[in-house]
Structure 1
Amino acid sequence: MSGRKQKTERKKTKQEKAQEPQVFFEDGLLAFLRNVGQAVGGIKNRPDGAQNLGPEAMFVCTTEALGLARNSGDAKGYISASAYALVAAMLQAGAWTLPPRPMPEPVEEEGPKEPPKKGSKKAPEKEAAK
């Protein structure tokens, strides 16, 4: 035989593609919740936005966003409407004014430090000790 593959060998290699990992409902739900959470964070960071007018104003924003999403068929519009509805619920429950979580303190790693490289200068502490 020459170095060429036969037709049956070529067909087998095409079928042996790597399968994509299976995605479940919970994975999709968490992805959408992250997107809605990011949209809510964007609303929270807006100065002088509709959220300052109360839950009724956010309800109006929700219905407007739903109408736009329905007409365009775009998932982003539905995510925006969900974010506005969530802000309205948080305003109504009094959770909108809760302070943000503080940033965690940086943790210094305690472990063996790398030894100095050959030919490098000595540490100033060692020179001062001499």
Structure 2
Amino acid sequence: MTRARHTDVRETIGEDHPTCRLRDILDRVGDKWSVLVMNLLGSGPKRYSELQRAIEGISQRMLTLTLRSLERDGLVERTVTPTSPPRVDYALTPVGQTLSAQVSGLITWAEQHREHVAASRLRYDAS
């Protein structure tokens, strides 16, 4: 039996094809840090330090990159209040809010099924 060779979708259909553009968006909103940030912001604006404390395991650099990417994609907005030191708040944009319910559902599903997934991994790895 021959195994199918992995081919990058962009190589076969071109980067401007709707499938590639869709994959680009799914890559952004589907990565674990983006999902966790969006879930936290679903309950309202947060300061950077609040986000960092709430997301176990995220580095300062990764949180900064994630927030910048979400801001670039129009899902998160950054508001600077000129105080000393400046206060920076992050909130979901109206488009980000439309995604928030979906992200929340994914988080709920993961919480409800994590034990099943862990047990299945153990069984699989043991065989």
* TM norm structure 1: 0.33
TM-score, normalization by structure 2? 0.33
Structure showing the higher helix proportion among its residues: 2
Larger RCO: Structure 1 or Structure 2 (Cα < 8 Å, ≥ 6 residues apart)?
A: 2
Q: Could you say which structure has the larger radius of gyration?
A: 1
